[in-house]
Structure 1
Amino acid sequence: MHSSRSTENLRLLSWQRVREYAAPPPMIETATARRLVGDWAGACAAARVDVDVDLRRLRRAYGTELVAAVRADLRQLVPDLLRWHMPRVMPGGLLRPDTTSTLARYPLPDGGAGHLVVRTPPAWASGPQRMILAWWDVADRATPHPDRRFRLDLHRHLWDARRSAELVERAGPASGASVSDASVPLAPVPLSGVPDDWAVTRWPAEAALLVASDGVPRGGITVRLGRRRLVLRVHADGVPQAPTSRDLAALFDVPSRPGTSPTGVSWTGTARAPRHGRPPSPGTAVLPDAATWVPPDALLLRAGLVTPGDLHPLVADALAPGSTRRNSVAPAPGIRQVECRGETHRLTVVDGVLTALDHAPDEIGHEELLAQLGGTPLPCLHVIDQLHRAPTALADVRARLDHGDVGSALAAVEDLLGPEAVLRAGDLQDELTAVAEGRVAYGAYRAGLLPALLDADPEIPAGRGIRSDLAFRASLVAVPRGRRDWHARRFLVATY
């Protein structure tokens, strides 16, 4: 039997968090502005996509016709939408590491095909959550082969601006739900015990697209459903057979009426449900992952966990036309109030540092010295110290850092502590140190180096200002321990 409804709800809550942090509005706005003026490379940079596509080399190798086709696709590439729809690992929702997905295929003169692909780095270098846009062909033996399960060339609506409106059709038939006066596509629950996110009603049509692209597979088409497998048979004429309720019931051992489809329509075809863990035969094709599941955005809208304004604009235009985008302008930092010795005191950022307004500088210096000698600190100073070590917004900052949004995370910290604040030992400093290590690891991966010398020294001195401190830690992580003192002095002299 499938996981309980509570487990499915937890999965939706995980997707809600992913949609909040994985592609923040400032990224989408910047990438969109650059894309609309024809700067596809700048749009990729804004969406944290590194470009390894050399159009000049492609022209020399394959000619101008192929390069023209590639350039046309690059101009329509929506890198922020691609990031929005990329395969992720739940429940954390981070990008699936070490995955190569085909975006488009182009015929080559030798009869083969070249692939425009997007890659994610291996797990040890995935900290910054960056992606890599590259070219791949059969002769390229030094880079990973595209994953047929996570291919996106049959799902251009997930990255191509010209096709983004197709999401409403590819998501499945509408269930009659309405959000903001717009029908939300969502396949109806096909069978008791079968989860809502299985796009069962779309499998035959999606399998037909796969057959039209790659030909008739000898062993059918495998639908990968986590640890479960369902193999759809394909007629000799290339028409896939739809699964019956009995086929689906075989996966969960639930009762069903033989010969009845999930939607109540009689199907003539059957599917084979292999046992758990048994790999499909070599001649079996794989239904793309994007075709297997109902898009989480449709499920989130149906559950009321997000509004159309919370979604990517192109996704919202497809699922809920006429909706408005939420305002991405962050509120200005205000004054924090603290109960201090029977009075209400104020904390705010002054001259770049979080300061207690109701205490004189001499009094603050005196109280800080007493606290260092073991005395009880002023409540105002105690709150400031706690905010430096483990701020109340640490969960939000950590989520942004986990998804690679360092800029927004640092902005949140600077709004709270001030841009000139000196980090103190604690959870916040540990999080920023981990970010610095991740940046160095990704740089090593891009340079073709092994993940060596990536251990951080716990005795790293703090820099002046949050951003300077982060840059200093990133520069120091990859330095051998024997030369770190010299490197630190050189960095401080150059900085100050």
Structure 2
Amino acid sequence: MTTLTTAAAGNWRRIRRWATPPAMIRAATDARLAGDWRAACAAANVDVELDDDQAKLFEDDLAHFAPDLLRWHLPRKPARGDTHLDARQVFHLLGDGPSLYIGGTRLGFGSQRLRLFATAEPLDTDAWEDWEWDDGPRPFHALHDYRALRHLFDARESRSLLDGCGWTHLPFHDPAGRPLPESAWGATERILALHDAGRFLEAWQAAGADVPEPPQDEHRWLTRILGRLWTGFLGEHTAVLNAARARGTDQVGLTFGWNHVLKLTGFDRPRLTGEWLSTGYRERDEDWHLDTGPYERPIDADLVRLGAVPVSWLHPLVHAAFFPEAEPSGGKSRTPRTEARLRCRDGAWHQVRMTGGRLDIPHTDEERRREQALLALGGQVHGCLAAEQAWRDGRARLPRALRELRADLMLRAQHGDLPGVLELLDAGVDPHARDAHGRTLLHHISGLMAAPDDLTLLHRLIDAGLDVHARDRRGMTPLQTAAYDTGSLDLVRALIAAGADLDGEDDNGVSVVETMDRFGRPELKTLLHDR
């Protein structure tokens, strides 16, 4: 059971806007429909680590593999305000003998590249933490079984996204995606409307169960957690109760966190009765408990229903599952404003804009030098020159339009949206921006390469004056990030050729060489012999 608060809905809006770029979806879809699954993976920033024999074992499934759809559905932690994938996860996609997996990201806010690989037999979950790859240990700490969730990555199964809810299309709409008037609402819409209005007991009653208010635990934090789980219940009420009845037992428990269970009884009567029980960590998975996960509403269903995400933002395969009779949906890139109006030091309002790779401000070079001297002496700059400095600092506050532009640029970079980044740079946006983690575009370069040996953007950024020695908030340079974030051998070589230091250490005292050794990068270790 999960929660969807107003804040989480806002964070999911950012995820849906940036985390799976429209250009990535279009390119991956075109390649898949053309029968080139490897090109589809490349377009979706998935590194294929399968030899021909391994690929042949999964040939039919790979022909319908939609890596962009899988990326859309992979777990994230929106409550933190981040858009990135949950780091260090592995997902078992196919196979009971030879098996196909997706390996997740190593560093949450780093490159969002994934890796597709196979093993001769399923990985041992119990021994997962001690398991090693052929080329060294990998820092993954969670293994998920997605074999029964093919609708999350197989284009042939994607329309079954709503099956767990028992829905044929998204509630409050007809199958063509048109909004339904309240007079046409059915039981599903009425129950969801009650839940959205905070009338939770009435929602359960409308579904066929008389449930009491959640208890007040002696520990306030437990009461607070239970309250969040109760109010944010994502299971489809009727589908959950139908599944409980299908058990054929005299009691069924719905778990809310580790400490509370809603026990349902009265299965021999028209209406069920609920009773709250306290439980311990060890008892939460007892046989009489029902896993409500398969009956949860897809997060996109709630985002659309609550107005957090417009229908036009949906992945086309999700759109088709929600509205089976609607015209295909195609996401469109959204270009932010590249100009802003701000108050300068003298109180006047100035219009500034990005052009030619810098912030164009109405100040002379002499005025710039005077402000820079003031800054060097410990003073503060204001107005236009402060905005110019803030753009490249990542910490100081910018006017809203420029703040949104910087966020747009850096989020496109983080999520591997190469066409989107090039669009902004070609429009004249200053490439010297830093994100909230202090990372520059050079720190994100491993996720922005059209191919492992395509260094076009790297050379463009270095020619624009970006510093190969720049450190992020953790003291990591672009070179160390590339070594950590599965950057290619060509990328690492190019950074070293541009002057990057192999002996540099991050804030934890870990050097680039130690990073290569720790994460089993034998292809990078060959560089050490060239020193």
The TM tier, using the shorter chain, reads: 0.5 to 0.7
Unmatched 5+ residue regions in structure 1? 60-66, 107-112, 208-231, 234-239, 441-461, 480-486
Which SS does the other structure have where 2:173 is aligned? strand
Whether 1:156 and 2:156 are equivalent positions in the alignment is: no
Q: Following TM superposition, by how much is the alpha carbon of 1:76 offset from its aligned partner in structure 2, in angstroms?
A: 0.8
Query: Which one-letter code corresponds to 1:43 in the other structure?
Result: A
Whether 1:352 and 2:360 are equivalent positions in the alignment is: no
Which SS does the other structure have where 1:432 is aligned? coil
Asked if the contact 2:355/2:428 (under 8 Å) is kept, the reply is: no
- Give the distance between the partners of 1:54 and 1:410, measured in 2 at CA: 32
- Aligned equivalent of 1:447: none
- Give the distance between the partners of 2:405 and 2:21, measured in 1 at CA: 17
- Give the distance between the partners of 1:27 and 1:50, measured in 2 at CA: 14
Tell me the number of residue pairs that the alignment of Structure 1 and Structure 2 aligns: 405
Query: Which one-letter code corresponds to 1:116 in the other structure?
Result: L
Q: Following TM superposition, by how much is the alpha carbon of 1:197 offset from its aligned partner in structure 2, in angstroms?
A: 0.8
Asked if the contact 2:469/2:478 (under 8 Å) is kept, the reply is: yes
Residue pairs, 1:67-466, within 5 angstroms: 67=56, 70-92=58-80, 94-105=84-95, 113-121=97-105, 127-138=110-121, 150-173=144-167, 176-178=171-173, 180-181=177-178, 189-190=203-204, 192=211, 195-199=232-236, 201-202=238-239, 241=247, 247-248=253-254, 252=260, 258-259=266-267, 275-278=279-282, 291-320=294-323, 321-322=326-327, 324-331=329-336, 333-334=338-339, 336=341, 338-339=343-344, 341=346, 343-356=348-361, 358-369=362-373, 371-373=375-377, 377=381, 379-389=383-393, 390=396, 391=398, 392-393=403-404, 396=407, 400=411, 404-405=415-416, 407=418, 414=425, 418-419=429-430, 421=432, 428=435, 430-432=437-439, 436=443, 465=464
Which SS does the other structure have where 1:50 is aligned? strand
Asked if the contact 1:126/1:438 (under 8 Å) is kept, the reply is: no
- Give the distance between the partners of 1:342 and 1:89, measured in 2 at CA: 42
Q: Following TM superposition, by how much is the alpha carbon of 1:156 offset from its aligned partner in structure 2, in angstroms?
A: 1.7
In structure 2, the CA distance between the partners of 1:71 and 1:381, relative to structure 1 (3 Å rule), is: same
The superposition leaves residues 434-486 of structure 1 with CA deviations (integer Å, 9 ceiling, x where unpaired) of 9839969xxxxxxxxxxxxxxxxxxxxx966376658993226689xxxxxxx
In structure 2, the CA distance between the partners of 1:242 and 1:300, relative to structure 1 (3 Å rule), is: farther
Which SS does the other structure have where 2:115 is aligned? strand
* Residue among 14, 30, 46 paired with 1:17: 14
Which SS does the other structure have where 2:350 is aligned? strand
The superposition leaves residues 180-239 of structure 1 with CA deviations (integer Å, 9 ceiling, x where unpaired) of 42689888654656554124655699x9xxxxxxxxxxxxxxxxxxxxxxxx89xxxxxx
In structure 2, the CA distance between the partners of 1:318 and 1:243, relative to structure 1 (3 Å rule), is: farther
Q: Following TM superposition, by how much is the alpha carbon of 1:333 offset from its aligned partner in structure 2, in angstroms?
A: 2.4
The superposition leaves residues 31-85 of structure 1 with CA deviations (integer Å, 9 ceiling, x where unpaired) of 22222222211221222222122223x38xxxxxxx26x1221121111101111
In structure 2, the CA distance between the partners of 1:408 and 1:204, relative to structure 1 (3 Å rule), is: farther
In structure 2, the CA distance between the partners of 1:281 and 1:373, relative to structure 1 (3 Å rule), is: closer
Which SS does the other structure have where 1:341 is aligned? coil
Q: Following TM superposition, by how much is the alpha carbon of 1:137 offset from its aligned partner in structure 2, in angstroms?
A: 3.4
Q: Following TM superposition, by how much is the alpha carbon of 1:312 offset from its aligned partner in structure 2, in angstroms?
A: 0.8
- Give the distance between the partners of 1:478 and 1:43, measured in 2 at CA: 23
- Aligned equivalent of 1:223: none
Q: Which moved more, 1:162-171 or 1:387-396?
A: 387-396
In structure 2, the CA distance between the partners of 1:353 and 1:327, relative to structure 1 (3 Å rule), is: same
Q: Following TM superposition, by how much is the alpha carbon of 1:325 offset from its aligned partner in structure 2, in angstroms?
A: 3.7
Superposed CA RMSD in Å reads 5.2
Which SS does the other structure have where 2:281 is aligned? coil
Q: Following TM superposition, by how much is the alpha carbon of 1:419 offset from its aligned partner in structure 2, in angstroms?
A: 4.0
Asked if the contact 1:203/1:292 (under 8 Å) is kept, the reply is: yes
The superposition leaves residues 302-335 of structure 1 with CA deviations (integer Å, 9 ceiling, x where unpaired) of 2222221121111011113337444314156236
In structure 2, the CA distance between the partners of 1:376 and 1:129, relative to structure 1 (3 Å rule), is: closer
- Give the distance between the partners of 2:263 and 2:247, measured in 1 at CA: 21
In structure 2, the CA distance between the partners of 1:489 and 1:249, relative to structure 1 (3 Å rule), is: closer
Q: Normalization by structure 2: what TM-score?
A: 0.59
Which SS does the other structure have where 2:388 is aligned? helix
- Give the distance between the partners of 2:295 and 2:366, measured in 1 at CA: 66
Query: Which one-letter code corresponds to 1:465 in the other structure?
Result: A
